[in-house]
């Protein structure tokens, strides 16, 4: 019986060792990158970005294809679900601010979500003509776990989503405040909401360092935008896909 | 240790509820239903925020590692990036700044308190 069980088990010892080594390598690289960022206090040293920058050449050099890597690290990917649930805590912490302005906040951010999804989807379809990439790019203004979960649910290419999210994060966070001042937007609430809606967590971190109050508004916008995107994207994106097919 | 276990059970329970709702109603991904349940249980004081805060902060601080396996998939898209990389980055920049402009101007117009200016 025991022998039958081991024969039926789909993984060999070398599969298990390779899976453990790749998972361990990913975790160690990430921890190393996080340590480096903490030491240097430089936002561009994003731990996720650095880990990918080191991992991709390593996989290419070792001739490990993506499918094998993905299978080997599936337990890390599976942790994404509980990690997303944990975002309910910051949402709870911002409930008071949301309650105070809920009508204006929801209508403004919902309109923002519709604009950014539609514009990104249409632009990508017109320029690249690939639906899976258009879905991934249209979900770039939300925080990564929600962006990935929605991209996978809507059959988009979830490998493009994190990159798009990082670019949106850094561009808005670093150039956004100057851009908003140029537009004569000076209030803390408007600056915070705009950066949070467009540049999610990265924007929030950078803004919090400059001004705690702006950072708080920014986290309200990033959480509300994520929730609104989660509700609206599954309705809006199929409509946009139908428009192009 | 007790608080870590409490947080893990709370997150697991909410995720389980989320999976149940997703199974019967689909719509959102189960993790997002779970997130809403988690927030709801905290708001209803069924979960103790003080017990949760520390372990929850650790989870959020380290959650970036969970995105790595998906993001490494870019390895399969070198051709796409070679041909359309510039277009993709330009499109991301453009749409991000459209969103910034819209939310910034609208919030300045409709949400600003007169005494709440940063300068």
Domain boundaries, chain B: 2-110
Name the residue facing B107 among A123, A167, A194 (closest C-beta): A194
Name the residue range of residue A67's domain: 2-78
Task: Quote the Cα angle for A192-A103-B26, to 5°.
Answer: 95
| CB proximity B54 to A under 8 Å | no
Higher pLDDT, B87 or A145: B87
A36 lies in some domain: yes
In sequence order, which residues have a C-beta less than 8 Å from that of residue B76 and are 6 or more positions away?
A66, A159
On whether both A100 and A128 belong to a single domain, the answer is yes
Q: Do A84 and B89 touch (CB under 8 A)?
A: no
Q: Are residues A161 and A188 in the same domain?
A: yes
Closest partner residue to A158 (CB to CB) among B30, B43, B70 is B70
Are residues A101 and A221 part of one domain? Answer: yes
Q: How many CA atoms lie within 13 A of A58 on its CB side?
A: 13
Measure in Å the smallest separation between the Cα of A8 and chain B Cα atoms.
Answer: 27
A235 to chain B: closest CA residue: B27
Q: Could you give the maximum distance between any two Cα atoms of chain A, in Å?
A: 75
Chain A residues inside the 8 Å CB shell of B93:
167, 171
Distance, CA of B39 to CA of B61 (rounded, Å): 18
What is residue A78's predicted lDDT score, i.e. its pLDDT? 86
Residues A104 and A59 grouped into a single domain:
no
Length of chain A: 245
In angstroms, the Cα distances linking A50 to A54, A84, A120 are: 6, 22, 26
- Average pLDDT for A42-67: 86
Q: Which residue, B102, B103, B64, is CA-closest to A148?
A: B64
Number of domains in chain A: 2
Element (H, E) at A135: helix A131-138
Say if A101 falls within a structural domain.
yes
* A62 and A92 together in one domain: no
At residue A2, does pLDDT exceed 50? no
How high is the pLDDT of residue B14? 96
Do B111 and A171 lie within an 8 Å CB cutoff?
no
A18 & A48 share domain: yes
* Contact: B103, A197; criterion CB under 8 Å: yes
Do A112 and A39 fall within a single domain? no
Binned at pLDDT 50, 70 and 90, residue B6 comes out as very high
**B 64-83: CB under 8 A from A:** 64-77, 80
Same domain, yes or no, for A126 and A145? yes
Q: Is the pLDDT of residue B65 over 90?
A: no
- Whether A150 is covered by a domain: the verdict is yes
Contact A48 B67 (CB under 8 A): yes
- Cα–Cα distance measured from residue A63 to residue B26, given in angstroms and rounded to the nearest whole number: 38
Tell me how far apart the 2 most distant CA atoms of chain B are, in Å: 53
What's the mean pLDDT when you consider all of chain A?
A: 85
pLDDT band at A6 (very low <50, low <70, confident <90, very high): very low
Say if A83 falls within a structural domain.
Answer: no
C-alpha–C-alpha distance, residues A122 and A118, integer Å: 6
* pLDDT confidence band for B91 (50 / 70 / 90): very high
Nearest CB neighbour to A87, from listed B35, B117, B118: B35
């Amino acid at each position: 019986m025991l022998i039958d069980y081991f024969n039926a088990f789909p993984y060999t010892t070398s599969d298990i060792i390779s899976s453990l080594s790749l998972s361990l390598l990913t975790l160690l690289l990430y921890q190393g990158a996080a340590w480096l960022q903490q030491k240097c206090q430089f936002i561009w040293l994003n731990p996720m970005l650095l880990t990918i920058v080191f991992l991709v050449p390593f996989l290419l050099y070792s001739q490990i294809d993506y499918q094998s890597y993905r299978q080997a690290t599936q337990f890390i990917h599976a942790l994404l679900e509980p990690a997303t649930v944990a975002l309910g805590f910051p949402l709870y912490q911002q409930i008071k601010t949301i309650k105070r302005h809920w009508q204006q906040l929801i209508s403004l951010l919902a309109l923002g979500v519709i604009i950014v999804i539609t514009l990104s989807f249409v632009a990508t379809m017109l320029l690249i003509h690939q639906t899976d990439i258009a879905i991934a790019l249209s979900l770039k203004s939300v925080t990564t776990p929600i962006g990935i979960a929605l991209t996978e649910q809507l059959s988009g290419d979830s490998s493009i989503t994190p990159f798009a999210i990082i670019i949106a994060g850094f561009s808005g966070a670093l150039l956004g405040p100057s851009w908003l001042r140029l537009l004569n937007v000076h209030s803390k609430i408007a600056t915070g909401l705009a950066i949070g809606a467009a540049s999610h967590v990265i924007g929030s971190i950078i803004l919090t360092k400059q001004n705690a109050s702006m950072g708080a508004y920014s986290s309200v916008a990033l959480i509300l935008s994520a929730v609104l995107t989660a509700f609206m994207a599954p309705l809006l994106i199929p409509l946009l896909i139908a428009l192009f097919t | 240790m007790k608080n870590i276990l409490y947080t893990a059970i709370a997150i697991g329970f909410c995720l389980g509820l989320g999976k149940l709702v997703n199974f019967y109603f689909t719509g959102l991904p189960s993790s997002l239903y779970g997130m809403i349940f988690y927030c709801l249980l905290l708001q209803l004081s069924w979960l103790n925020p003080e017990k949760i805060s520390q372990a929850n902060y650790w989870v959020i601080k380290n959650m970036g590692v969970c995105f790595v396996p998906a993001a490494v998939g870019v390895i399969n898209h070198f051709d796409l990036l070679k041909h359309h990389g510039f277009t993709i980055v330009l499109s991301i920049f453009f749409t991000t700044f459209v969103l910034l402009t819209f939310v910034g101007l609208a919030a300045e117009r409709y949400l600003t308190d007169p005494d709440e200016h940063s300068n």
